[in-house]
Amino acid sequence: MNRPDVNIRELAAWGFDDVARDAPNLDEHSRRARQCVARRAAFVEDSAILSELTHSLRPRALPLLQRHDLLHEYRGLQWDIGVVDLRKLLAFQRRIIIEYGGTTAEPIKQDDWDGLLQLAFDRTRNIEVDVRQTKTAEDVQQIVLRSWNPDLRLCVDAGAANPLRLHGGSPFFEVAHYRGRWFLRDGYHRAYNLIRSGVYAMLAVVIEARSIAEVGVGKPWFFDEHTLFSERPPMVTDFHNDEVALSYSRRRMMKHITVRIEEDFHPASAESL
């Protein structure tokens, strides 16, 4: 039985969305966090790529460049594989969710590059769903897919034998470079655990983003572009700073994907004949 609540680790110095409004002592913690960040030196843009490590580890990473799942995930993007310094990455995600009583894997050490390679590129994402058939008030049939994975989505692969498929979110550790700054694009929980273990150099898919949309920013629970390009932006390491990050409990959330089934007939077009 899953515990009904989860622990939230929230960056408190850059404002809140509606989700955090019930957190205890929100205003006071926000005030202290803003004061802490205000004492920082202004952010200086610096490459997050560790060139020597990237060069030395590239022979191990070369087979990844031919993997079908990797090529499919990043089609249309400019990307490569590199080693990044987690301490130089900006965080556009406001919060991470930490399970109570979750099993803790054996910490990976910085020199365990086989383990880090597996963590970055061979992580599976949960696509298990609870399926329920219901009807709307208008008597339209619908299917509700319920999952504990917040990144689950229903994708359409045009031309495939089975065009509808469930996608659990990118399994890869991702960094995006945009307008001189380096962002953690995907892998916040992994980064949190690595930093806690004293690991700061990590293999990643590195995307040269051509727009803020390619960075991945845009959801309500992400920081906006103004915050991310401010003088003192949120950093991935801030999740470990008790002066900046707020911890609180929140009711566990389950993702629902609703598919409505409506059948109809239309005259065939020339293209379909």
Q: Examine residue 266 and state whether it is found in any structural domain, yes or no.
A: no
Q: How many domains does the chain have?
A: 1
Q: Examine residue 270 and state whether it is found in any structural domain, yes or no.
A: no
CB atoms within 10 A of CB 240: 13
In the block, tokens 């960094």 appear at: 175
Q: Examine residue 150 and state whether it is found in any structural domain, yes or no.
A: yes
201-208/174-178 β-pairing: parallel
pLDDT digits (tens, 9 = 90+) for 170-211: 789 999 999 999 999 999 999 999 999 999 999 999 999 999
Q: Examine residue 11 and state whether it is found in any structural domain, yes or no.
A: yes
What pLDDT shows up at residue 188?
Answer: 94
- Distance (Å, rounded) from C-alpha 239 to C-alpha 88? 13
> Could you tell me the residue range of the domain that residue 24 belongs to?
5-261
Residue 227 in tokens: 């915050």
pLDDT digits (tens, 9 = 90+) for 110-136: 999 999 999 999 867 677 888 888 887
- Distance (Å, rounded) from C-alpha 32 to C-alpha 12? 9
pLDDT digits (tens, 9 = 90+) for 203-233: 999 999 999 999 998 777 899 999 999 999 9
Mean pLDDT of 240-254: 87
Q: Examine residue 195 and state whether it is found in any structural domain, yes or no.
A: yes
Q: Examine residue 41 and state whether it is found in any structural domain, yes or no.
A: yes
